[in-house]
Structure 1
Amino acid sequence: MTAPILRARSLGKRYRKRWALADCTLDVPAGRIVGLVGPNGAGKSTLLKLASGMLAPTVGAIEVCGGTPGAGPAQLAKVGFVAQDTPTYPALTVADHLTLGARLNRAGWDTTLAEDRIRRLGLDPAATAGSLSGGQRAQLALTLGIAKRPDLLILDEPVAALDPLARREFLQDLTESVAEHETSVVLSSHLVSDVERVCDHVIVLTDSRVQVAGEIEELQAAHHRLTRPGAVTAPPDLPADCHIVTFERTDQQTTVLVRGDAAARTTSWSINRPSLEDIVLAYMRTGSRTAAPTPRPAALETSR
C-alpha cells in the first residue's frame, strides 16, 4: 500500500487562547487531487501552512512526503505552495519570475516545463505581473509551483478571487498538469462545486476540526437522504451502525441525512443519494460550536 503523502496525528495549532486547528488526525492519499473544504476561518489555511512548514504545531505531529515539513532543503524541495493571493511581484516580468523560480529551486526546477507552459497559456514573457489579469497571475503562480516538480502541491484557495470562467480554466489546467506530471495536490476551497469538478478525495473542516474525510464516491455511497412529507417529530428508527448527520423539518417536509448502508433498507421514508454538496453542508452545519479542548500530543504511527 502506498504511504500517505500527508499524515497528521492529534495535530493542533493555537494562537494565544484560540485554537485554529484542533485534534486533527488525517491520512491524505498520494497521487490524488484532494479537496479541503470549509467555511472561512475553519482552519484550512492553518493546516496547509503546517503542512508546508511555514508554521510549527502547538501539539501533535505531522508528516509530509515522509518527513517533517520544512526540515531542510531536501524536504522543502518536495512541497510546492501557492497562497490564496497567488503571490507574484508586480514589477517583475513573467520571464523574471521563471528566473527567480529557477534560482530558488535549483535541485528540481524544470525550465522546459515552465517555458512551455507559459507559451501555451499565451503569456508574454516580457509582460510585468502587474499588467496581467487575475487569472493570468494565478496561472503564473501555478506554473512556478508545478515547475518546481514537487511531490506535493498545496493550493490555498488559489481561485477565490477569479471570475467563474477564469476559475474553470485554472482548474481544468490544474487537472491536466497534475495528470501529466503525477503530482499529489491538496486544494483548499470554500466552493464545493470546484472540489467536485477536479477532486476525488475530500476533507471537510469546520470550527477548527475535521468533520469527515474520504473518497468522494465512497462518501456518497455511504450516505443516504431520507425524506417524508410533513413535520415528523422524530427521526426514523435505524440500526446501531447508522449515524444521523442532520435532522431537519419544516411544515412541508422532514429530511434526515444518514451515514450507513442500513439506512437504505428503511421502507417508510423516501430514500435518495445526496450530492457532495448536501454531504459537505450537512457536516458543516453539525460542526462543533464550542471551544476546542486542548488536544494531547501523539506520535505518528508507523506506515504499514
Structure 2
Amino acid sequence: MVTPVLEAVGLGKRFGRRWALSGVELSVPAGRVVGLVGPNGAGKSTLMQLACGLVAPTEGRIRVHGSEPGTRPEQLARVGYVAQDTPVYPDLTVAEHLRLGARLNPRWDAALADRRLERAELDPRQKAGRLSGGQRAQLALTVAAAKRPDLLILDEPAAALDPLARHAFLDHLMESVTELGATAVLSSHALPDVARVCDHLVVLARGRVQLCGDVEPLIAQHVRVTGRPADFDALPSEAVVLARTEQGDGRATALVRTVRPLPADGPWSVAAPDLEELVLAHLACAERPGGKGRSSARPEARR
C-alpha cells in the first residue's frame, strides 16, 4: 500500500474557543498538484501550518510522508513552504538568501537555485526589500524549491500579484514541480489558476473537507442540468442538486451530483460543468442550513 504524502484523520485545531478545523479526513496521493480552495476563514492556512509542523493539532492526527510533521530534521527537509506573504529578508540580497538556504538545508541544490534565478531574471546582487511583489514571490519559490522537497506547500503565494506576475509565477511553479518530481499543495482564491495548474482538488469550508479527489473524475461525477423547474422532479433518486438558479425564461439551471449519467431521454439538457462551477456549488451547499460543516455548538474537545 502506497503511503499518502499528506494524510489527516479526525483532525481538529482550536484557537481559544474557535475551531479552525474539525473532523478533517484527508488523503493526498503522491505526484499531484493539489488545489486547496475555500472562503476566508475556512481553515486553509491552519491546515497548511499543521502540515508544516508550525502548529500542533488539538485532536486527531496529521501525517506527512507517514510521519508527524516537523518532528525530525530529515522530515523538515522534505517539505518546502511558501507562506501567504512570501516572506523574505529585506536587508539580504538575493544571493545571500541562497547562501542562507544552502547552510540550513542538507539537500540544497545550488544548480537548481541558479537556474531558477536566471529563469526569473532575478539579480543576485539586489536586496530583497527592493524587489517587486512578483520578484519576491519568485525568490521565495526558488528558496523552497532548492531544498529539493518531496512536498511543496504554497499558501496564497500569488494573491497580491498582478495578472502577468501571477501567470509567470504559476509557470515557474509548474516547472519546479516537474523538475523536482514533487507533490504540491497550492492554496488559492483564484479558481482559474487552480483549474490551470491543479489535477487534484480539496474544497474546504466551515473547517471541514467538502470535496476531495482528482479533478477529472470529480467533474465527471457532476452535470449541469437545464430545464423547467418541474423537470427536476424527474431526476433519479440518487441525484443530488447542489445549486440551482432560476432563469428569466421560465427555466432553471442546476448543478447535480450523480453516480451515473442521466437518462438521455429526460426532459432537460445537460452539459459538463467547469471546475469553478463545481467549487462554488459545493461551497454554497456547505453554507446552507444542514450543510456539511462544523456546528456552532460544538462540544469541548477531548483532552
- SS of the equivalent of 2:282 reads helix
**Contact in 2 for aligned 1:23/1:295 (Cα 8 Å):** no
Structure 2 residue 222 is matched with structure 1 residue 220? no
User: Helix, strand or coil for the counterpart of 1:282?
Assistant: helix
Show CA shifts across 1:176-234 (max 9, x none).
Answer: 111111011000001110100100001111121111111111111110111114xx268
Do structure 1's residue 293 and structure 2's residue 298 form an aligned pair? yes
| 2:197 aligned residue | 198
How far apart are 1:40 and its partner, in Å?
Answer: 1.4
Tell me which of 246, 249, 254 is aligned to 1:249. Answer: 246
Letter of the structure 2 residue corresponding to residue 293 of structure 1: R
Q: Residues of 1 paired with 2:135 and 2:297: CA distance? A: 40
After TM superposition, the structure 1 stretch with the greater mean CA deviation from structure 2, 211-220 or 237-246, is 237-246
1:85 CA drift (Å): 0.4
Which residue, 238, 241, 255 being the options, matches 2:235? 238
Q: 1:180 to 1:292 in 2, by over 3 A?
A: farther
Structure 2 SS opposite 1:145: helix
CA deviation map 1:221-249 (0-9, x unaligned): 110111114xx268333334322222332
Contact residue 19 and residue 292 of structure 1 kept, 8 A: no
Structure 1 position 173, deviation (Å): 1.1
Which amino acid in structure 1 is aligned with residue 221 of structure 2?
A
- Provide closer, same or farther for how the CA distance between residues 23 and 78 of structure 1 changes in structure 2, counting only shifts above 3 A: same
The reply to whether residue 158 of structure 1 matches residue 163 of structure 2 is no
Equivalent position of 2:27 in the other structure: 27
How far apart in 1 are the matches of 2:287 and 2:57?
A: 21
Which position in structure 1 is the counterpart of 2:78? 78
What whole-Å deviation, never above 9, does each CA across 1:98-145 have from its counterpart, x for those lacking one?
01111111x211111112221232211110001111111100000000
State the partner residue of 1:122: 121
- Give ranges in structure 1 of 5+ residues lacking alignment: 298-304
- Tell me the TM-score normalised to structure 1 length: 0.92
Instruction: Give the corresponding residue for 1:300.
Output: none
Tell me: CA distance 1:239–1:279, structure 2 relative to 1, closer, same or farther (3 Å). Answer: same
Mean Cα deviation higher: 255-264 or 136-145: 255-264
Q: Evaluate the alpha carbon distance shift between residue 243 and residue 80 of structure 1 in structure 2; reply closer, same or farther with a 3 A threshold.
A: same
**Paired AA for residue 263 in structure 2:** R
Cα distance in 2 for residues equivalent to 1:135 and 1:123: 11
- For the residue of structure 2 that corresponds to 1:236, the secondary structure is helix
The aligned counterpart of 2:5 is 5
Confirm or deny that 1:97 pairs with 2:102: no
Secondary structure at 2:118 match in 1: helix
In structure 2, how many angstroms separate the alpha carbons of the residues matched to 1:225 and 1:295? 41
2:148 alignment partner AA: R
Match for residue 148 of structure 2?
Answer: 149
Q: Do the aligned partners of 2:80 and 2:153 also contact (CA within 8 Å) in 1?
A: yes
Partner of 1:138: 137
* Residues 150 and 119 of structure 1, relative CA distance in 2, 3 Å threshold: same
Q: Please give the alpha-carbon distance, in whole angstroms, between the structure 1 residues aligned to 2:121 and 2:186.
A: 25
RCO comparison, higher one (Cα < 8 Å, 6+): 1
TM-score scaled by structure 2? Answer: 0.92
- Return the alpha-carbon distance in structure 1 between the equivalents of residues 273 and 215 of structure 2: 12
Where does the alignment leave 5 or more consecutive residues of structure 2 unmatched?
289-294
Contact preservation (8 Å) 1:11, 1:295:
no
